[in-house]
């Protein structure tokens, strides 16, 4: 785990992965550790707050390098910016809120890669399965009521209830 690393642990980690140690790389690794699933832009803001100016391109390039060296994992949810985390090599999945984009880790469904067995491998050698669970987080659920059609009639406003009752009545008469 790299969540509570001080610099000496990070230096060793980078060296073990044959990455030349620089202040920028250390700062970016630390930012990824402290804000899992952040976008490159969010990480650039965090790094800038710590070490002062760093170009967006330098952040993108460094993240690319760290991903290539398997120090950082890139997740690319459809329709969203790429996100980065330092929890690598455990094949975990992600649960993403459709409304606000908040992302949480979901442990591998069965425990070993690939944890989902394809119905037909089409002759491929499958070595990984990546799943995105989509939904609405507790905060967004609390902020927006569920669609009326999913609530029981007794919880719906009287106007809607009358409409559905009228429709039911019309059906009975057919
Ligand atoms: Zn949300
Ligand atoms: Zn994750």
Q: What is the CATH number of the domain that holds 49?
A: 1.10.10.10
The model's pLDDT over 98-151, given as tens digits with 9 standing for 90+, comes to: 999 899 998 876 656 666 777 888 898 888 778 889 999 999 999 987 654 455
| Confidence category of residue 168, pLDDT binned at 50, 70, 90 | low
Residues 84 and 96 in one domain: no
Q: What pLDDT sits at residue 143?
A: 93
Distance from the CA of 83 to the center of ligand 2, in angstroms?
9
Residues 10 and 83 in one domain: yes
- Whether pLDDT at 5 is above 50: no
Structural domain of 84: 1-89
Distance from the CA of 34 to the center of ligand 2, in angstroms?
12
Number of the ligand closest to the Cα of 99: 1
Distance from the CA of 150 to the center of ligand 2, in angstroms?
31
93 neighbors 112 (Cβ within 8 angstroms):
no
Helix (H) or strand (E) holding 165: helix 158-173
Residues 85 and 153 in one domain: no
Q: What pLDDT sits at residue 13?
A: 92
Q: What pLDDT sits at residue 167?
A: 52
Q: Please compute the mean of the pLDDT values over residues 5-15 and round it to a whole number.
A: 84
Q: Is the dihedral of CA 70, 11, 30, 56 positive or negative?
A: negative
Residues 151 and 171 in one domain: yes
Distance from the CA of 153 to the center of ligand 2, in angstroms?
39
Residues 37 and 74 in one domain: yes
The model's pLDDT over 32-91, given as tens digits with 9 standing for 90+, comes to: 999 999 999 999 999 999 999 899 999 999 999 999 999 999 999 888 899 999 999 787
Residues 71 and 110 in one domain: no
- Whether pLDDT at 160 is above 50: no
Residues 120 and 162 in one domain: no
Distance from the CA of 142 to the center of ligand 1, in angstroms?
9
Q: Integer distance in angstroms from the first to the last C-alpha of the chain?
A: 66
Distance from the CA of 84 to the center of ligand 2, in angstroms?
8
Number of the ligand closest to the Cα of 130: 2
* Structure tokens that stand for 76 in this block: 């690319």
Residues 56 and 15 in one domain: yes
Number of the ligand closest to the Cα of 101: 1
Could you give the CA distance from residue 126 to residue 152 in angstroms, rounded to a whole number?
A: 44
Residues 37 and 100 in one domain: no
């Amino acid at each position: 785990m790299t969540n509570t690393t001080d610099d000496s642990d990070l230096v060793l980690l980078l060296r073990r992965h044959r990455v030349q140690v620089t202040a920028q790389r250390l700062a970016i690794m630390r930012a990824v550790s402290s804000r899992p699933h952040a976008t490159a832009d969010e990480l650039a803001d965090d790094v800038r707050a710590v070490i002062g100016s760093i170009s967006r391109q330098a952040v993108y390039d460094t993240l690319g390098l760290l991903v290539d060296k398997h120090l950082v994992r890139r997740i690319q949810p459809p329709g969203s910016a790429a996100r980065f985390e330092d929890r690598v090599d455990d094949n975990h999945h992600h649960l993403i809120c459709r409304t606000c984009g908040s992302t949480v880790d979901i442990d591998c469904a069965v425990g070993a890669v690939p944890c989902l067995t394809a119905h037909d491998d089409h002759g491929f050698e499958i070595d990984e399965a990546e799943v995105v669970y989509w939904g609405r987080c507790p905060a967004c659920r609390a902020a927006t009521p569920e669609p009326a059609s999913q609530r029981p009639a007794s919880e719906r406003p009287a106007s809607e209830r009358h409409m559905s009752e009228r429709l039911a009545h019309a059906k009975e008469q057919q």
